[in-house]
A and B are shown apart, each in its own frame.
Chain A
Amino acid sequence: MEERELRALVDRVKAGTLSRRRFVRMMVGLGLTAPMAAQMLASAGVVEAQAKWTFNPTKRGGGGLVKTLWWQAPTLLNPHFANGTKDQDACRIFYEPLASYDPDGNVIPVLAAETPSLQNGGVAKDGMSVTWKLKKNVVWHDGKPFTADDVVFNWEYVMDPATAAVTIGPYRDVVRIDKLDSHTVKIVFKSPAPFWAAPFCGAATGVIIPKHLFQAYKGDKSREAPNNLKPVGTGPYKFVDFKPGDIVRGEINPNYHVPNRPFFDQVEMKGGGDAVGAARAVIQTGEYDFAWNLQVEDEILKRLEQGGKGHADIVPGGNIEHIQVNTTDPWTEVDGERASAKTKHPILSDPAVRQALNLLVDRGSIQEEIYGRTGIATANFLNAPSRFVSKNTKWEFNVEKANQILEAAGCKRGSDGVRAKDGKKLKFLYQTSINPLRQKTQQIVKQACAKAGIELELKSVTANVFFASDPANPDTYSHFYADLQMYTTTMTQPDPQRFMDQFTSWEVSGKDNKFALTNKTRWRNEEYDRLWKAAESEMDPVKRAALFVKMNDLVIQNVVVIPVVLRPGVSGVSNRMRDVVQSGWDSNFWALAYWSKT
């Protein structure tokens, strides 16, 4: 999709012939993120829809206890050390960012007084800085005022390498933060920042901790801060109790900066157990009000829903289950390294074989028979506009065509039915992590490939090993010592720039970087690199989106990866709960202050 077509779509939203939500969905279908889509609309002057709540109380509190269940238990309460979404969510009960991302990717101010934009002068025209006005009269739970000093301190805290903060990502692009007055900060970037809403926004990296309690614990002493376990934030709930790996409890903050919120008097986040048990406690027995990340087969969810106490809430996000196709040769050792970037895959380097593989993944059956509501078949990253207008995005599953392509490419069937090219058999090793859904998917792909004369050998590795970052273990996904591999890549971050660097030539994963870099397929393409660099500093959101769409096209046309299904987030919500709005781009608790119950 070209820039021109994107502009036409934006105009249609402006004219009201295309709904905002539909537009955002289309952009996500193109491999962009909702926050980026929202930015495109904002730049065209389409006013942000304000979140609407069904329940608008006239006084604070009175809702009693809300019980939530995370089958992975939170382990710490310092957002800058969060080990995963479970910790980010737990921190978000007490701490807040300057702004959150709503389901459509809009930047909704929380601790900020307003969302910066080109129109109100918050965002500099050259993209080199963004100015945030902070909400006045916000106090920390201990009564101290929240000011610009706290914002500046968080940047210093995160940037100190000895602190070892995991939230450093978006802050590395910041040169300095100027405090203009007690409630205004100006963030100055190293280079034009098209996505200025990365620092201090969203629960993953943006929440702010108080300077007065953490300034003595910056750097080496970061682990010793007593408040790592006893958060003092600005959020709707004050800290009561925390047992790492078990439970977090909070009580209502009587001075919360949003009037008449929150509704519940106490909040409890219990951790541990398994996903099915969590689904049961919310959806079937109603013992709990909310459950996180129900990675449970849809069939089971449907059966539990018959009880009528709760339901599965499916939230579209950007997570994609996909198959990666190796471009290097995993079976030859060069300089003591298999799948070295210096090699080329003997068979998979043939575009015809890649095209054939793409035709042999039966996404329809995979969605229908395996994932149900929890996996939406996707040709994803695809380009033809007519397909996006039609509701059913088309992918193709065509054994016939695959056979023709292979035949034309000179891959002849041998006596055992397996094709061979230049004496090399079309036999591939297809690896993934152990997970019943993935093993079933492997079977479906294997059967289709067999019909086209490609033999797949299936391998499954324990998830703990497959996703480990241990440079000495050859079975990890980052070594990719196989021909094909499948897993879900998470695209929960609001801007695709970092996500798309997994196809750039400087990110090739290998022995010299301890397999830590992100380009696992080791595909390299000059045009892609050029587009990526252009997008990094392109300030026009629509032009930038067009660049990303082109990058996606390159990846798909060259069959570097074969998208299988989009995996939306699944939460369990009690039928009595109201306004439990989930955003695929922010924490499950981003709207906790607005939750209520009948």
Chain B
Amino acid sequence: MSKYFLRRTLILIPVLFGISAILFTILVMAPGDPFEELATNPNVPPEVRMNLRAKFGLDDPLPVRYARWVASMVRGDWGFSFVSRVNVDTLILQRLPTTLIVLGSAQLLAILVAVPIGTYSALRPYSIFDQIATTLAFIGFSLPTFFTGLLFILLLSIHLDWLPFIYRSDISATGWRWYWEHVRQAIMPVAVLGLAQAASMTRFMRAAVLDVIRLDYVNTARAKGLSEGVTLVKHVVRNALIPVVTLVAIQIPTIFGGAIVTEQIFRVPGIGSLLITSILTRDYSIIQFVALVLAVLVILVNLLTDLAYAALDPRVSFRA
């Protein structure tokens, strides 16, 4: 087991280097530059822009820039944003809590919706409830979040005027009012993200429960005289959740991707909107860092899933 773990971890190093090299080259070769706005402003003499480019090392040859970047990343120095001249880690840490709260609540909502609905659908397959749930699930995962987001804004903010559509990280109210305001503004982004997640998760849950419910030990449990509720919770749902949990884990990076768009629509000041503005202004250090973190996240989640499988099922070879 430890050997397998070591081998898998060592493979990560070249993979990371490969990813970082590709990321870096593509970004740097993409047209545009961080001082574009200065270029179109006749008040700013061109020398200033040239000076800034030289100062921030943008005029050096590509391999030199790559080496410098990798070296500073290894040292733990993530660089600074060319646009705000603030360190990347400060910017990221400022926005991490918001993203975690929104994504976490969305994920929680998805689970709370998907598990009961998926289970109930599986218990009564092809009933009216199942038909409706299936239809809604299909609608849910075929509509992109940017579209449902706009629909929500149109309905809840503009027509009904119930919820604000601009997310503010600084709310001056105190006490209960503060919580209430936060909940109110988070409802729409969380609902948009969470329901999209719930749609696919419901389908997985339904399939998993259908698989499990036919198995012998469920019949045994019933034959033992256990109540339907206990059978369901302890034997069916518990076992059905195993593949669903794996799926949820693997989907985490995808959720991050979806969150980028949603954050932009609702002006949620999270990592996603930071990434978008950075891309628009060609703020290399931030884009590289966020993209790299996402890549690492995918790899790590994959590694963890593999390791978890290996631990759960020894037949997945340690030796191979």
Contact = CB atoms under 8 A, between A and B. Distances in A.
Nearest to B82: A83
B269 A246 contact: yes
A62 interface: no
Given A164-B51, A284-B158, A243 B169 contact: yes
Interface string A260-283: 000000101010110001001100
Contact of A473 (B31, B37, B158, B264): B31
A410 interface: no
B50 interface: yes
A266 B171 CA distance: 12
Interface of A is mostly: loop
Interface stretch (B100-108, B230-238, B251-259, B272-280): B272-280
Contacts of B269: 243, 245-247, 272
B260 to A, nearest CB: 13
B32 A464 contact: yes
Contact of B80 (A223, A288, A478, A513): A223
A468 B31 contact: yes
B170 A268 contact: yes
A516 interface: yes
B170 A247 contact: yes
B3 to A, nearest CB: 46
Contacts of A165: 48
Contacts of A517: 46
Contacts of A514: 50
Interface stretch (A53-61, A68-76, A136-144): A68-76
Given A266-B172, A270-B166, A464-B282, A469 B85 contact: no
Interface string A476-517: 001000000000011111000011001000000000011011
A304 B35 CA distance: 34
Contact of B165 (A246, A272, A281): A281
Contact of B166 (A84, A288, A473, A492): A288
A457 to B, nearest CB: 21
Contacts of B86: 76, 228-229, 244
B166 A287 contact: yes
B41 interface: yes
B31 A273 contact: no
B132 to A, nearest CB: 33
Interface string A303-344: 000000000000000000000000000000000000000000
A287 B46 CA distance: 40
A172 B47 CA distance: 12
B83 interface: yes
Given A168-B48, A244-B84, A281-B166, A84 B37 contact: yes
Interface in B11-33: 31-33
B170 A469 contact: no
B52 to A, nearest CB: 5
Contacts of B94: 243-244, 246
A280 B46 CA distance: 37
Interface residues of A, number: 63
B38 interface: yes
A246 B166 CA distance: 11
A172 B158 contact: no
B164 A76 contact: no
Interface size class of B (residues with CB under 8 A): 35 or more
A285 B282 CA distance: 33
A249 interface: yes
A280 to B, nearest CB: 7
With most chain A CB atoms within 10 A of its CB, the pick from B38, B41, B282 is B41
B87 to A, nearest CB: 10
B161 interface: yes
A273 B48 contact: no
Interface-central residue, B94, B157, B166, B265, by most chain A CB under 10 Å: B166
A469 B49 contact: yes
A330 to B, nearest CB: 19
A55 to B, nearest CB: 24
A245 B95 CA distance: 10
Contact of B45 (A84, A168, A277, A467): A168
Interface string B115-134: 00000000000000000000
A160 to B, nearest CB: 11
Contacts of B48: 164-166, 168
Contacts of B85: 76, 78, 81, 223, 228
| Those 8 A-B pairs whose CB atoms lie nearest each other, nearest first | A516-B46, A246-B269, A469-B39, A75-B84, A244-B84, A465-B31, A84-B37, A273-B267
Interface of A: 65, 69, 73, 75-76, 78, 81, 83-84, 161-162, 164-166, 168-169, 172, 204-205, 223, 228-229, 241, 243-247, 249, 266, 268, 270, 272-273, 277, 280-281, 284-285, 287-288, 464-465, 467-470, 473, 475, 478, 489-493, 498-499, 502, 513-514, 516-518
5 contacts: A168-B48, A169-B43, A246-B269, A272-B277, A464-B36
Given A165-B48, A270-B166, 13 more contacts: A172-B45, A223-B85, A244-B86, A270-B168, A277-B165, A277-B265, A280-B158, A287-B165, A467-B36, A469-B38, A469-B49, A493-B43, A502-B42
